[in-house]
Structure 1
């Protein structure tokens, strides 16, 4: 792994940690102007506060346990894939764990430009 791909991985890890801690101010520092994110059941969102508001009815908190981070080199940056499992608490106070997720990040100029998320949270509710 070269210095640039190591920096891209660190950027993603630091962003995920800030989001888990709900330190939105710090998380914002990792984002490029025009950052876009999608989560299961959403259209494109462009602000972290919108994400937090959207997630409020879905869970009280969520933690990510990373199984692996994979980096693809692009001509103008990197695509960083993170996968593992989610644990947390539903709005009713019950806990959940071992729910699969994959996050895909586009990294350019040492900033996150896009995040796409896939997970099995909806399956855990049924």
Structure 2
């Protein structure tokens, strides 16, 4: 039964500590073959006034937003065409890569690129996976199926997709998309 003890400055709320506990449990289970309920996480909080580094009192850094929630909000905003809100979640230098397209940097580019390909597309999610990348970026994968209508009004559905997002400082810096839409259209 693995036990993880974490010493943390006071200042993080219950939800942030829960996220931290889940992440630590997952990190342990990545190496140790233990069921989640066998991994114990103990968080010991130290009052900020009792913590010094270099002889200087310190305060805890603000918690990062949940990267999975950032991606979910972005995708929800895209689905209802709240493009200004969605665009505000993108970092300067954002890039998105779709099959058969040159890299795009703005949502309007995506809309113009997609217009001759289909009337609309909706996503049904099978799951989301979030992890910390090797650098500063959090990585979020979402996977599921696409449905919608071709330009002539013919419906399509059950097309597999995977989206991979990179998030730095709570903003999306990159989106890579893989799907079987071209193969499905070619067979139609």
The bucket for the TM-score relative to the shorter chain is over 0.9
Contact in 1 for aligned 2:64/2:170 (Cα 8 Å)? no
Q: Secondary structure at the match of 2:66?
A: helix
Residues 1:10 and 2:69 aligned together: yes
What's the CA shift string for 1:31-89, capped at 9, x where partnerless? 11111001000111001101000000011111111101011212413110000000111
Q: Normalised by the size of structure 1, how large is the TM-score? A: 0.94
> Counterpart in 2 of 1:122?
182
Contact in 1 for aligned 2:65/2:170 (Cα 8 Å)? no
**CA–CA separation in structure 2 for the residues paired with 1:24 and 1:18:** 7
The 1:95/1:66 distance shift into structure 2, 3 A limit, reads same
> Counterpart in 1 of 2:85?
26
Structure 1 gaps, min length 5: none
Q: Secondary structure at the match of 2:100?
A: coil
Q: Secondary structure at the match of 1:13?
A: helix
**CA–CA separation in structure 1 for the residues paired with 2:89 and 2:182:** 28
Residues 1:43 and 2:102 aligned together: yes
**CA–CA separation in structure 2 for the residues paired with 1:98 and 1:110:** 31
**CA–CA separation in structure 2 for the residues paired with 1:92 and 1:6:** 41
Shift of 1:5: 7.8
From the two aligned structures, give the one with the greater strand fraction.
Answer: 1
Higher relative contact order (CA 8 A, sep 6+): 1
Residues 1:113 and 2:173 aligned together: yes
Backbone CA RMSD of aligned residues: 1.5
Aligned residue among 93, 106, 119 for 2:153: 93
Report the count of equivalent residues.
126
Structure 2 gaps, min length 5: 1-17, 21-62
Q: Which runs of 4+ in 1 moved over 3 A?
A: 3-6
